[in-house]
């Protein structure tokens, strides 16, 4: 028998809580027709069958829908704590609607649908995964579902398994593709529904309808625990500056949330750096000033949080990346066969003067990373760029210069960390366990109600679970047109940190004090049992965003 930990054994017995409206029979309450957040005409033309649908809320009903339906489910993109609970919620709801219903999991992401790799999710099978982290139940992948040929190949297996609907659990890119697939099947009248589900630790899939993406809560709490431990070590030995890069491909939500939880000396917010049109040297100078200020009071130690996506938000580098994206998209094949040095020369000779100059100032490793392949959605693979080392090296050089000029007289020794993968598969917090189970249940109800092109949602999440509101939002409502791989495409708008939002403002109102003094907070590990204040609190971001 497979060994499992004592915690997993206990945790398996946890029954996630559901909103009142999802506990029994459900009735659908429809709102007004919707519009996309921008580019309405273009999005409407691209999605004639799934545009403009109303928002849906589930309320308690008196007659159970006994819909007969086989359902498919796909985990797409980066892991996020709670994915297994979405599938558990979906499984339980699908079986509750009708015990003959079957759930199939497509393996290793969207590619499983195209290549017909699947497993039937049965009761015994799913019981091993309830309330566990990870996506290992069926695996995940980043295959982009975008071509008609893929949609048609997928249809073959959907027909074979008599699958009426597929739930795609993914981030903004995967849900964009879910919407394209929903539109395609609707246009062809294939009778297959597609439902999305908001996943990503990055926290950037949120808007007026989606309060938070699942996984953000657990991942941030896991990183905050580790940062707190480092802060305590740092405050004990008093000899290191710790440069910690935190995941979050674009937005700085994770870094900001971790800063609110742990009160480090410095936390960079990419969105602010972009708005202030800062250069890399200015960012470095700001950090060095904090180091020097603390050194002057005898504190040669500290903690700096760096959002993973920083590099793309430094405007000059952002412009360079834009041009590189277009260049790599249009010259892919001839470029790929060149060796490293020839690739660098090729890039320099094709870039505009301004961007070539920026490219030349970058350390070779960073420049190289920016010139490598994008992920299947056209994103720079920022998790591979060692910004934490780049910044600390540059701070070191600047401090040495200041020392020569008699402006600094401290000791600077840096340690480097990257927290990303450590948090993506953590066992879900109570919040994520409940939230995900409710999302899965909502997805099943959307299918039973005949909906397609919707994303399952759960709102009012800072209230008690039974007061949460569940329903669905048309995916087209969250879309606008953006340039991807050199072409304008309909995509779900990413939510960046809002510089007039409460989480950011709260951080700004404290950061000078946190920079100078040692105000560390040590959150400790996620707790599953115990006082509600310790176990059931959501993120500070969500709490601040929800306070009126
Ligand atoms: P999703 O947007 O798919 O949820 O993934 C987010 C993320 O965890 C980012 O934070 C990170 O930059 C990226 O995935 C890493 O990707 P990979 O797992 O392919 O290394």
Taking only the tens place, the pLDDT of each residue in 367-400 is 888 887 777 667 777 777 889 998 999 999 999 9
Q: Whose CA is nearest to atom 10 of ligand 1?
A: 248
Give 2 or 127, the one with higher predicted confidence. 127
Mutate to test the pocket of ligand 1, among 196, 249, 312, 374 (most ligand atoms within 8 A of CB): 249
Beta strands per DSSP E along 142-298: 163-170, 193-198, 241-246, 266-267
pLDDT per position as a tens digit, 471-520: 999 999 999 999 887 789 999 999 999 999 999 999 999 999 999 999 99
pLDDT at 335: 78
CA distance 211 to 215: 12
Q: Which two tokens stand for residue 112?
A: 């499983």
Residue in the structure block whose two tokens are 């960073």: 366
CB atoms within 10 A of CB 213: 27
Percent of the chain having pLDDT more than 70? 99
pLDDT of residue 1: 58
Higher pLDDT, residue 427 or 338: 427
**pLDDT tens-digit readout, 396-443:** 999 999 999 999 999 999 999 999 999 999 999 999 999 999 999 999
332 confidence band (pLDDT: 50, 70, 90): low
Element (H, E) at 439: helix 430-448
d(CA 224, CA 209): 27
Res. 166: pLDDT tops 80: yes
Mean pLDDT to the nearest integer, 142-163: 96
247 lines ligand 1 (CB under 6 A): yes
**Average per-residue pLDDT for the chain:** 94
From 59-73, 247-261, 380-394, the region with the lowest mean pLDDT: 380-394
Check if 172 has its Cβ closer than 6 Å to any atom of ligand 1: no
Handedness of CA 392, 393, 398, 402 (dihedral sign): positive
**Residue pLDDT, tens place only, 68-104:** 899 999 999 999 999 999 999 999 999 999 999 999 9
Indicate if ligand 1 lies below 6 Å from the C-beta of 380: no
Coil, strand or helix at 491: strand
- Looking at the predicted structure, is the pLDDT value of residue 185 above 90? yes
Q: How far is the CA of 289 from the centre of ligand 1 (A)?
A: 32
C-alpha to C-alpha distance for 305 and 252, rounded to whole angstroms:
10
Q: Where are the alpha helices (DSSP H) in 98-215?
A: 111-114, 123-127, 148-160, 172-187
Segment 262-287, tens digit of pLDDT: 999 999 999 999 999 999 999 999 99
Tell the burial category of 294 from Cβ atoms under 10 Å away from its Cβ (0-12, 13-18, 19+): buried
The pLDDT of residue 338: 84
B/e letters for 4-32, b = 16+ CB within 10 Å, e = fewer, are eeeebeebeebebbbbebbeeebebeeee
Q: Distance between CA atoms of 285 and 499, rounded to whole angstroms?
A: 22
**Counting every residue, how long is the chain?**
548
The arithmetic mean of pLDDT across residues 19-37, rounded, is 94
CB atoms within 10 A of CB 339: 8
- Please state whether the predicted TM-score (pTM) of the whole model is above 0.75: yes
pLDDT of the residue at 377: 65
Does the C-beta of 201 come closer than 6 Å to ligand 1? Answer: yes
How many C-beta neighbours within 10 Å does residue 328 have?
A: 20
Distance CA 111, CA 140 (A): 9
Q: Which domains does the chain have, with CATH numbers?
A: 33-215+428-486 (3.40.50.450), 217-308+385-420+501-546 (3.40.50.460), 316-381 (1.10.10.480)
Res. 462: pLDDT tops 90: yes
Q: What are the tokens at 89?
A: 């919620």
CA-213 nearest atom, ligand 1? 4
């Amino acid at each position: 028998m497979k060994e499992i930990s004592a915690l997993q054994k206990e945790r398996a017995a946890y029954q996630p809580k559901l909103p009142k409206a999802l506990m029994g029979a459900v009735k659908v309450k429809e709102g007004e027709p919707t519009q996309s957040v921008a580019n309405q005409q273009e999005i409407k033309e691209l999605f004639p069958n799934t545009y403009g649908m109303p928002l849906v809320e589930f309320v308690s009903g008196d007659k159970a829908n006994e819909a007969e339906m086989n359902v498919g489910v796909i985990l797409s993109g980066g892991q996020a704590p709670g994915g297994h609970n979405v599938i558990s919620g979906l499984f339980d709801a699908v079986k509750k609607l009708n015990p003959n219903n079957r759930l199939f999991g497509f393996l290793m992401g969207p590619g499983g649908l195209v290549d017909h790799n699947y497993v039937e999710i049965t009761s015994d099978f799913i019981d091993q995964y309830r309330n566990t982290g990870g996506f290992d139940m069926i695996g995940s992948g980043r295959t982009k579902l975008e071509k008609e040929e893929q949609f048609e190949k997928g249809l073959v297996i959907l027909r074979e398994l008599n699958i009426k609907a597929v739930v795609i659990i993914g981030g903004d890119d995967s849900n964009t593709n879910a919407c394209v697939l929903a539109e395609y099947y609707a246009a062809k009248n294939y009778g297959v529904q597609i439902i999305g589900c908001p996943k990503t630790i990055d926290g950037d899939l949120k808007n007026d309808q989606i309060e938070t993406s699942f996984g953000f809560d657990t991942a941030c709490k896991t990183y905050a625990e580790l940062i707190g431990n480092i802060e305590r070590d740092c405050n004990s030995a008093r000899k290191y500056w710790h440069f910690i890069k935190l995941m979050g491909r674009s937005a700085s939500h994770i870094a900001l949330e971790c800063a609110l939880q742990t009160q480090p000396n410095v936390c960079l917010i990419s969105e602010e750096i972009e708005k202030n049109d800062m250069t890399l040297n200015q960012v470095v100078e700001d950090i060095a000033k904090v180091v020097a200020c603390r050194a002057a009071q005898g504190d040669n130690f500290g903690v700096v949080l760096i959002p993973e996506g920083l590099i793309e938000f430094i405007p000059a580098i952002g412009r360079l990346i834009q041009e590189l994206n277009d260049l790599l998209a249009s010259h892919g094949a001839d470029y790929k066969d060149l060796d490293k040095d020839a690739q660098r020369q090729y890039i320099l000779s094709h870039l505009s003067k301004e961007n070539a100059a920026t490219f030349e100032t970058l350390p070779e490793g960073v420049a190289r990373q920016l010139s490598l392949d994008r992920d299947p959605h056209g994103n720079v693979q920022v998790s591979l760029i060692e910004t934490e080392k780049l910044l600390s090296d540059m701070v070191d050089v600047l401090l040495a210069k200041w020392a020569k000029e008699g402006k600094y007289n401290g000791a600077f020794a840096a340690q480097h960390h990257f927290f990303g993968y450590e948090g993506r598969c953590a066992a879900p917090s109570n919040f994520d366990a409940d939230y995900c189970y409710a999302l899965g249940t909502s997805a099943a109800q959307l299918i039973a109600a005949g909906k397609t092109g919707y994303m399952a949602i759960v709102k009012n999440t800072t209230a008690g679970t039974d007061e949460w509101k569940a329903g669905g939002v048309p995916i087209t409502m969250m879309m606008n047109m953006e340039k991807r791989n050199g072409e304008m495409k309909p995509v779900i708008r990413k939510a960046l940190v809002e510089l007039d939002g409460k989480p950011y403002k709260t951080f700004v109102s404290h950061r000078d004090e946190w920079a100078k003094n040692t105000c560390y907070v040590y959150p400790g590990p996620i707790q599953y049992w115990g006082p509600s204040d310790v176990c059931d609190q959501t993120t500070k971001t969500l709490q601040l965003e929800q306070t009126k």
